[in-house]
Every structure is written in structure tokens, then in C-alpha cells.
Amino acid sequence: MAKSMKRIVFFLLLALLGLKANAQRFSVALGVYTGITASYTSDKGIENDPRYEQRFEAKLAPFGVNFSLDYESFGLMISPGLINLGQNFYLVNTQGGQDGMRKIDLQYLTVPVSFKFHLVHFRAFKFSALATFTPAFLVDGSEELNHGPTKLQFPTSTYSILPPDYIVEYDGVIAPAVNDYVIAEKKDFRSLQLFAGAGFRSEWDPSNHWRISVDFRVNYGLFDPRTQHYNSTNDESTIKLYDIPGERRDIFAQFTVGISRYIEFEQSEKERKKKLKGTTRKYVPTRYPGQKVRQSQPKD
């Protein structure tokens, strides 16, 4: 699948680079960016588990490289980079107090391919809508739980697999302290995930060759991030002690700021004349700011 994705990206680049023959002006930019992500983990098992409560926080998207090709009304952007995803959850006791944490940490090397539709396009400023498709390759992944001595509302379906030091009472289960309890590790997550997303991007050119960008987009994971093997694990396994099986999807917002070096290209007058040869269109010289076109013959 990874080879197929590389081919798709390669052919997209070739197709859009070929468009320069039909465009009078275009620009190419190469730069770097950094930012943050905010994840929402939609997990049917966690949603139906009274032991967990949502917690929202930001994680780093520490570094990325951006390549973009822009025409007058649209563009293409490829921006590979590292991102950290995964929502954390509070572990709540039978009284509603927070006694621990369930942490989901996923790090991906992503290769977003974004189509840009310029909604506002001035000489030194662009505001664009984005449609993005992102292959994401797993770098690291873990899901762990920590809590102190507490009383929790374990689902009755887990009573048969409770360890001996977990005591069932009428209003819950008394559980001992747990440190670094592994719910899932790297091998339990897909090595390749795909995201589809949309967002907005603004770009400002403070000088003739430098460009500053601000980017915001929301991405939706197309597959459950965990492997099929993990999801099909026998329900009697103790790995399910703190995890009710259920479909999961990762959704995240990403905000980045970047700086790029760009070069503008413009079709030469000779090329424009050649294109118009044999057509009924009239050749009109390109005007530049401050330029005056001679209307009369030069004097001897």
C-alpha cells in the first residue's frame, strides 16, 4: 500500500508540473513549519465505560517540510512531517473523582497532499481552502493506564477475569494501585493510517522571496488505528480488563506556522507569441508596473 501511495503522489506532481505550460504565472516554494495538534478519540468502548472521562489537551507537531506549487486560482502542496496524536482520559471512581489517567500516544510520519483553492489572491497575500489526503506511517504508539487505590465501576462482563486482589462490592470494585498498565503497544496499532481533511491556509509574502504561512485543518482517520488482530482478541483476555471492545476513530485539528523561500516564474513573451501563432487571438505585450508601451514609430 505504501508503494501505491508513493506512485499516486508522484503522478500528481507530474500532472500539476505539466500545467505550467498553460499558465502565465506560477510560483514554487520550499520551507519548514511547526505547530500543535488537538485530538478527539471516538471510541465506542470508552464512551460506554463509566470509568472514563474525556480530557482535552494539545500535543506537538514538532517539525515538517513544505513544498508548494501555486497558480493563479489553485495550487498543490505536499508537507511531510512528524505529528503526535491521541486523546487522554481521566479514570473516575464511583464518586466521580479523578483517580488516574489513561494515556493514548501515537506518533506518525505524515505525508499530507493538499489541493489549494485560492479564495483571495493578491500579489502578496493568499487565503485558500484546503482539501487534504494524508498517508500516515506509525513511528511509535502506546496506550497505558495509571491509578492509585480506588473503587471503580467495572462492567459486570469483566468480573470473571478480575485478578484476586480486586474485590467486588455492591457499589463497585475495590482496585489496588496500578502503574504503567499496558493496554496496547506499538505492535497493536496499524503501521499505516489514512486521513482525509479540510481546512484553510493564509500566506503572506513580506518580501520578494520569503513567505509566511498560517494553516488550520481538521483530519478524520479512515480506519480504526488498532490492528484487526488486537480488536479480535478473545474477550476473556486480561488485556481487556480496562478496555471494552469498540470501534475507534481518531479525529484531530492541526494548527501550524511556517516560513518558505519561494520563486515566481512567468511565461516569456517569446513563448506567448508562439502559443498564439495560428490562432485568431491578438498578441498583447505584458505590462509591468510603471511600463509604458510605445504608440508611435521612433524618430530618426
For residue 177, how far is the Cα from the chain centroid?
Answer: 36
Q: Are 61 and 136 in contact (CB under 8 A)?
A: no
Q: What is the mean pLDDT of residues 138-149?
A: 96
pLDDT tens figures, 40-60:
999 999 998 999 999 999 999
Cα–Cα distance measured from residue 173 to residue 166, given in angstroms and rounded to the nearest whole number: 7
Cα–Cα distance measured from residue 125 to residue 77, given in angstroms and rounded to the nearest whole number: 17
Please tell me the CATH code under which domain 2-45+55-85+105-138+188-276 is placed.
2.40.160.20
pTM: 0.80
Q: Percentage of the chain surpassing pLDDT 90?
A: 65
pLDDT at residue 284, rounded to an integer: 52
pLDDT at residue 114, rounded to an integer: 97
pLDDT at residue 21, rounded to an integer: 46
Q: Are 234 and 224 in contact (CB under 8 A)?
A: no
| Cell (9 digits) for 224 | 480504526
Cα–Cα distance measured from residue 299 to residue 149, given in angstroms and rounded to the nearest whole number: 100
pLDDT at residue 282, rounded to an integer: 55
Between 32-41, 136-145, 260-269, the lowest mean confidence (pLDDT) is in 260-269
Cα–Cα distance measured from residue 137 to residue 159, given in angstroms and rounded to the nearest whole number: 37
DSSP for 96-116, please give it: S-EEEEEEEEEEEEE--EEEE
pLDDT tens figures, 171-203:
999 999 999 999 999 999 999 999 999 999 999
For residue 219, how far is the Cα from the chain centroid?
Answer: 5
